[in-house]
């Protein structure tokens, strides 16, 4: 439910809370077939205007969280590594003017493999970045070309090598499975490559055909077909087994990490903590019932003289309940029933009962968790528990 409320009331709710920061960098060199994230292919002048506007937004919104002890920063997009080194430096200067990080803060930047050069790494060395997230998606050059990705498999391997040589070992790679025409062996090779590389974190997503994307159009026109469920499950099953053998914890449906290397920032999304989202299209959350989303328009963003154009959403208790169920059940630590009201808890347990009986859900004390079998049907289990 979208209700326009004043920024003041939003600020009242979030002020002084320790919150993570997300910065959306809305630039890509070209668009990948499957992607529905907000980004543009605008050039250098727009990047300059963006960084200036970002500085303004940071200064005007820093009081929405406790800016003196920020626990995590995630710079995503888009493609942050498409900013030239000088603008990256400028962005970090602006961040430092508005925020101070906790000593153990996790500071992540997303990069595209073919942007990773000694020059980029040299620039990152002058920033507090201590975690790298790289969109590899697949090590099959044929599939990379099909997806309109810019990089090759060799460039992805080279990027990991360059980062490691520069002592960036906290690396997360993204993979996608269920790509059109992808065979089980191609997927097996992707997972094996990541495990053999020994990176501490892997995010692996099932391909989804998002409306408005080029891939969705291809599906509608019959140029591609969706991967059969059975093959998707086989791929996911292999992913779970292989990562478990490698000592990685399956801590969220799509995320795997060696102990201690779980994504701190993303975990804030899943456990309902507050975060401040900056940049066009970025979302913020007060940790209770207010969400804000900046408009997905770079033009409006750079032209804003006061508050950035945005929408604010007040969650009803039912919407809040649905969110808690949806996000917490995705995690290995599960849904702690104690976070629900008495009425919600009764409803939740009533809806969960058939799934506990058929083994999709496990109840351990006051926590509900998906079983391994339940993970395969997580969407329907979770939607059954929602209002």
Residues of this chain that bind ligand SF4 (CB under 6 A): 28, 31-32, 35, 37, 39, 77-79, 112, 135
First to last CA, the chain: 15
What residue number has its CB nearest to ligand SF4?
35
Exposure class string for 44-63: b at 16+ Cβ within 10 A, else e:
eebbbbbbebbbbbbeebbe
- Min dist. Cβ of residue 255 to ligand SF4 (A): 17
Cβ nearer to ligand SF4, comparing 151 with 265? 151
State in angstroms the smallest separation of the CB of 78 from ligand SF4.
5
How far apart are CB 28 and ligand SF4 at their closest, in Å?
Answer: 3
CB-wise, 31 or 369, nearer to ligand SF4? 31
Q: Select 19 or 78, whichever has its Cβ closest to ligand SF4.
A: 78
The pair of three-digit structure tokens given for residue 215, joined into one six-digit string: 């891939």
Give counts: helices (H), strands (E), the chain: 15, 15
Minimum distance from CB of 34 to ligand SF4 (Å)? 7
**Nearest-CA neighbor of 22 among 205, 281, 327, 201?**
281
Distances from the Cα of 239 to the Cα of 153, 188, 242, 249, angstroms: 19, 8, 5, 12
Which DSSP helix (H) or strand (E) runs through 342? helix 342-357
Closer residue to ligand SF4 in complex, CB, 48/150: 150
Closest distance to ligand SF4 from the beta carbon of 135 (Å): 6
* In the complex, minimum distance from the CB of residue 368 to ligand SF4, in angstroms, rounded to a whole number: 33
Sign for the pseudo-dihedral over CA of 100, 103, 104, 108:
positive
Task: Choose between 112 and 262: whose C-beta lies nearer to ligand SF4.
Answer: 112
Minimum distance of ligand SF4 from residue 147's CB (angstroms): 8
CA distance 307 to 131: 30
The strands making up 335-336's β-sheet, listed across from edge to edge, are: 335-336, 367-370, 361-364
CA distances from 308 to 55, 58, 70, 244, 311 (A): 12, 11, 22, 44, 10
Q: Closer CB to ligand SF4, residue 71 or residue 78?
A: 78
CA 49/CA 357 separation, integer angstroms: 57
Q: How far is CA 307 from CA 60, 77, 369, in A?
A: 8, 21, 41
Contact 64, 16 (CB under 8 A): no
Contact of 79 with 110, CB cutoff 8 Å = yes
Minimum distance of ligand SF4 from residue 161's CB (angstroms): 21
Polymer length of the chain: 387
Q: Which CB sits closer to ligand SF4, 20 or 135? A: 135
Nearer to ligand SF4, 71 or 180 (CB): 180
Closer Cβ to ligand SF4, 271 or 296, answer by number: 296
CA separation for the pair 276, 265 (Å, rounded): 11
Closest to ligand SF4 by CB, 20 or 26: 26
To ligand SF4, the closest distance from the beta carbon of 64 in angstroms equals: 25
Min. distance of Cβ 348 from ligand SF4 in angstroms?
35
Asked if 29 and 83 count as a contact pair (C-beta separation under 8 A), the reply is no
Task: Provide φ and ψ at 343, rounded to 5°.
Answer: -70, -45
């Amino acid at each position: 439910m979208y209700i326009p409320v004043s920024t003041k009331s939003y600020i009242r709710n979030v002020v002084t809370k320790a919150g993570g920061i997300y910065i959306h960098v809305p630039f890509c060199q070209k668009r990948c077939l499957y992607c529905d994230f907000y980004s543009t292919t605008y050039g250098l002048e727009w990047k300059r205007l963006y960084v200036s506007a970002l500085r303004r937004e940071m200064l005007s919104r820093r009081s929405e969280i406790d800016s003196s002890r920020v626990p995590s920063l995630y710079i995503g997009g888009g493609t942050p590594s498409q900013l030239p080194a000088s603008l990256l430096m400028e962005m970090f200067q602006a961040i430092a003017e508005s925020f101070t990080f906790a000593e153990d803060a996790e500071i992540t930047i997303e990069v595209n493999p073919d942007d990773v050069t000694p020059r980029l790494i040299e620039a990152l060395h002058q920033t507090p970045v201590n975690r790298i997230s790289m969109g590899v998606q697949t090590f099959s050059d044929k599939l990379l070309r099909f997806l309109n990705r810019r990089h090759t498999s060799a460039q992805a391997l080279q990027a990991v090598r360059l980062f490691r040589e520069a002592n960036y070992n906290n690396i997360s790679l993204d993979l996608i499975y269920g790509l059109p025409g992808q065979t089980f062996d191609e997927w097996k090779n992707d997972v094996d490559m990541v495990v053999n590389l020994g990176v501490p974190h892997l995010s692996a997503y099932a391909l989804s055909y998002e409306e408005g994307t080029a891939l969705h159009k291809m599906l509608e026109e019959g140029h591609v077909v969706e991967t059969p469920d059975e093959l998707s499950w086989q791929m996911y099953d292999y992913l779970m087994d292989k990562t478990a053998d490698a000592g990685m914890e399956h801590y969220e449906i799509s995320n795997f990490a060696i102990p201690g290397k779980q994504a701190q920032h993303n975990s804030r999304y899943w456990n309902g903590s507050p975060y401040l989202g900056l940049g066009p299209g970025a979302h913020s959350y007060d940790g209770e019932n207010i969400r804000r989303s900046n408009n997905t328009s770079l033009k409006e963003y750079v032209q804003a003289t006061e508050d950035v154009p945005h929408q604010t959403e007040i969650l009803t208790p039912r919407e809040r309940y649905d969110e808690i169920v949806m996000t917490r059940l995705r995690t290995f630590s599960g849904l702690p029933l104690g976070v629900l009201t008495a009425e919600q808890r009764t409803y939740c347990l009533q809806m969960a009962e058939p799934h506990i009986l058929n083994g999709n859900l496990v109840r351990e004390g006051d926590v509900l968790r998906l079983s391994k079998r339940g993970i395969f049907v997580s969407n329907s289990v979770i939607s059954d528990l929602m209002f």
